[in-house]
């Protein structure tokens, strides 16, 4: 088994595409340990792994997000955030956080949020007096809220893998995302005082009203997604499909930002993005199958029982495992490889599946912004044309805060479960 | 020839995606209207699931050509150019063999399921067809790996652009 881990790591470090790393390693596992298993199983797992109704939410949310990113909806949400908090001390920092939450609430993707927010907000943060490192760190870190705030693709994948209600995960994600955003807002306030950044003059109510009016149709999107799901009108997948129709109508007819030809280009891009996510799910499903056949979850569980570990020790181990994995692989791959082994043990220890989902997702948030391989660091460096080392230097204080939030969320389940309990 | 293939792929992907959105939305509307109409559209869920799998597999090749598949190339970029050239060729070779092997498995599974005459529950479609699509998808992916291996397409350039577009 050690040889296979080494093989996977070698392929990963050589620069093989992640789906090849998972796929080739799975084939090697089958050839070495399960040679008698019919080959046909491989194709069944690859195909069956993605042929699920729950997963249909992902292509629809990806398409909706790309429509909104290319059109006016995302921009109007960011403008509204500025109108509401831009005048406070360190207002551009608060705008970056609120804008990331707003953009995350329509995109579900942290790298997309970093790319979109970075180009718009970074120059303004610098102008307002924030240093380069702090600005870069804040932009990269606050984008992680997209992994928690609905419609998070990470939460959909977790829900599909574990059979946990996606509506409940979305509800929990709102609370945990808010805690993370609040922690970053406190950091911004402290840094603004340290840098002597004054508060700006508050915009007139008329200006706020104008920003709200412009964002009216944009605000309809979270209302449809969340309102539709929690009022029982839509399932998460149906809300995703409706959000595509809504985004198309608003961008084409109301804002008139996109033309039908843009629609074709964006849809094609969304198709490729969908394929990129799903081929990972397909290969992840294959490797998960072999992980289960090899009784890895049982072995870990036996080990934890043997060393007399309780739920707290288990959660610490989970956090360490995900933090290390998150540094090397992207969130969906980390989920696909680790969750099948850890979830049954977590449930065995009495950890609520929704709470465990929040812990896993927060760990992935940290992994996405942690060197040496945190994806969002490279997206920020590439988008803003800054050295990776500057982004890494800026991110560290936020990693520490993220870990503190992770500690609180891990050991205070009520924060994660408060909103789901309220709604169900 | 390759441009023609790309144009076909793009046309098919966009048509499938629009069909998915349209069908799923129609399914919601008919369900809200209730009555027998909702029952008449019971096949929509299965159709959209199958269209989604087609979308995923048929876009694999385009995704590779555009450098969109997720990978960690930080260390790869630190290798001297002369050695890196061979590492990229190794990736292309392994990718090609992997894709062709999966396509071959897909062909085998499709043939087997066709021979059983099995049909899907609501669409009544021969189930074998559902395995034909991934077979084609992995062949398209294998073709891109082969073209990159032979130097017809430059995935290295695509990877750099892909990072900037992420």
**Cβ proximity of A349 and A309 under 8 Å:** no
Query: What is the overall mean pLDDT for chain A?
Result: 85
Look at the pTM and tell me if it is higher than 0.90: no
| Distance (Å, whole) CA A320 – CA A402 | 14
Determine the distance in angstroms separating the CA of A330 from the nearest CA of chain B, rounded to an integer. 8
Mutate to test the interface with B, among A23, A28, A42, A43 (most CBs of B within 10 A): A43
- For residue A90, which phi and psi values (nearest 5 degrees)? 70, 35
CA A309 to centroid of chain Cα atoms = 30
Residues in chain B within 8 Å Cβ distance of A42: 102, 105
Pick the more confident residue, A266 or A71: A266
| Per-residue model confidence as pLDDT tens digits over B129-141 | 999 999 999 999 9
Q: Measured between alpha carbons, how far is B67 from B62 in angstroms, rounded to an integer?
A: 9
Task: At B71, give phi and psi (nearest 5°).
Answer: -160, 160
Burial of residue A54 (number of CB atoms within 10 Å: 0-12, 13-18, 19+): middle
A384 confidence band (pLDDT: 50, 70, 90): confident
Token look-up 């296979």 returns A4
Among B127, B136, B126, residue whose Cα is nearest residue B106: B136
How far is Cα A57 from Cα A332, in angstroms, rounded to an integer? 15
Q: In the numeric block, which tokens belong to residue A169?
A: 């995960």
Q: Which residues contact A53 (CB under 8 A, 6 or more apart)?
A: A237, B45, B49
Indicate which of B7, B15, B34, B70 best probes the interface with A, i.e. most A CBs within 10 Å of its own CB. Answer: B70
Report helix, strand or coil for A198: coil
Residue B39 has pLDDT above 80, yes or no: no
Residue B166: pLDDT above 70? Answer: no
- Global ipTM: 0.91
Between CA A69 and CA A56 the distance in angstroms is 20
User: Whole-angstrom Cα distance, residue A376 to residue A327?
Assistant: 11
pLDDT at A200 over 80: no
**Does A43 contact chain B (CB < 8 Å)?**
yes
What pLDDT score was predicted for residue B165? 40
Mean pLDDT, rounded, for B128-157: 92
- Tens of pLDDT along A85-137? 888 888 889 998 988 888 777 766 677 777 777 777 888 888 888 999 999 99
Q: Which residue is listed with tokens 């608060």?
A: A94
Residue in B with minimal Cα distance to A48 = B53
Tell me how far apart the alpha carbons of residues A183 and A180 are, in angstroms, rounded to a whole number: 5
How much is the pLDDT for A328? 64
In chain B, residues with a C-beta closer than 8 Å to the C-beta of A69 are: none
pLDDT at B159: 57
Q: Per the CB < 8 Å rule, is A241 touching B50?
A: no
């Amino acid at each position: 088994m050690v040889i296979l881990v080494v093989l996977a790591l070698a392929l990963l470090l050589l620069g093989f595409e992640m789906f090849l790393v998972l796929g080739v390693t799975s084939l090697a596992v089958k050839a070495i340990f399960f040679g008698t298993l019919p080959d046909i199983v491989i194709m069944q797992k690859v195909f069956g792994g993605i042929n699920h109704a729950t997963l249909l939410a992902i292509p629809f949310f990806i398409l909706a997000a790309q429509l909104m990113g290319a059109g006016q909806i995302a921009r109007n949400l960011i403008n509204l955030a500025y109108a509401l908090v831009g005048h406070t001390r360190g207002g551009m920092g608060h705008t970056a956080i609120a804008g990331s939450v707003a953009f995350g609430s329509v995109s579900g993707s942290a790298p997309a949020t970093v790319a979109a927010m970075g180009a718009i907000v970074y120059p303004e943060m610098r102008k307002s007096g924030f240093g380069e490192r702090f600005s870069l760190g804040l932009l990269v870190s606050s984008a992680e809220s997209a992994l928690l705030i609905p419609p998070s693709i990470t939460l959909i994948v977790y829900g599909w893998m574990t059979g946990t209600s996606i509506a409940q995960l979305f509800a929990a994600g709102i609370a945990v995302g808010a805690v993370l955003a609040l922690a970053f807002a406190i950091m911004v306030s402290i840094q603004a005082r340290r840098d002597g950044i004054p508060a700006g003059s508050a915009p007139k109510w008329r200006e706020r009203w104008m920003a709200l009016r412009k964002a009216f149709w944009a605000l309809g999107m979270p209302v449809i997604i969340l309102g539709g799901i929690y009022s029982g009108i839509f399932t998460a997948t149906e809300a995703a499909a409706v959000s595509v129709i809504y985004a198309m109508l608003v961008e084409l007819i109301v804002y008139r930002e996109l033309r039908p030809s843009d629609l074709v280009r964006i849809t094609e891009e969304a198709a490729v993005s969908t394929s990129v996510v799903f081929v990972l799910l397909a290969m992840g499903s294959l490797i998960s199958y072999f992980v289960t056949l090899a009784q890895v979850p049982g072995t870990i569980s036996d080990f934890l029982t043997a060393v007399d570990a309780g739920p707290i020790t288990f959660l610490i181990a989970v956090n360490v495992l995900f933090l290390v994995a998150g540094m090397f692989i992207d969130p969906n791959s980390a989920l696909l490889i680790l969750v099948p082994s850890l979830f049954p043990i977590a449930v065995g220890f009495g950890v609520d599946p929704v709470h465990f989902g929040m812990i896993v997702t927060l760990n992935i948030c940290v992994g996405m912004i942690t060197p040496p391989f945190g994806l969002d660091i490279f997206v920020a460096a590439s988008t803003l044309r800054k050295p990776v080392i500057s982004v890494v230097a800026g991110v560290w204080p936020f990693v520490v805060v993220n870990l503190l939030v992770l500690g609180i969320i891990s050991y205070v389940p009520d924060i994660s479960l408060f909103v789901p309990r309220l709604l169900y | 020839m390759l441009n023609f293939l790309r144009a076909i792929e793009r046309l098919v992907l966009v048509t499938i995606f629009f069909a998915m959105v349209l069908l799923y939305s129609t399914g919601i509307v008919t369900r809200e209207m209730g009555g027998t109409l909702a029952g008449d559209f019971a096949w929509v869920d299965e159709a959209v699931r199958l269209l989604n799998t087609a979308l995923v597999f048929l876009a694999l090749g385009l995704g590779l050509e555009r450098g969109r598949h997720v990978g960690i190339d930080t260390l790869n970029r630190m290798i001297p150019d002369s050695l890196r050239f061979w590492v990229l060729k190794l990736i292309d070779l392994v990718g090609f063999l992997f894709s062709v092997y999966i396509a071959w498995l897909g062909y085998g599974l499709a043939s087997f399921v066709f021979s059983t005459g099995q049909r899907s529950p609501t669409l009544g479609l021969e189930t074998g067809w559902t395995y034909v699509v991934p077979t084609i998808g992995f062949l398209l992916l294998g073709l891109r790996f082969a073209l990159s291996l032979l130097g017809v397409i430059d995935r290295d350039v695509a990877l750099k652009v892909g990072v900037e577009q992420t």
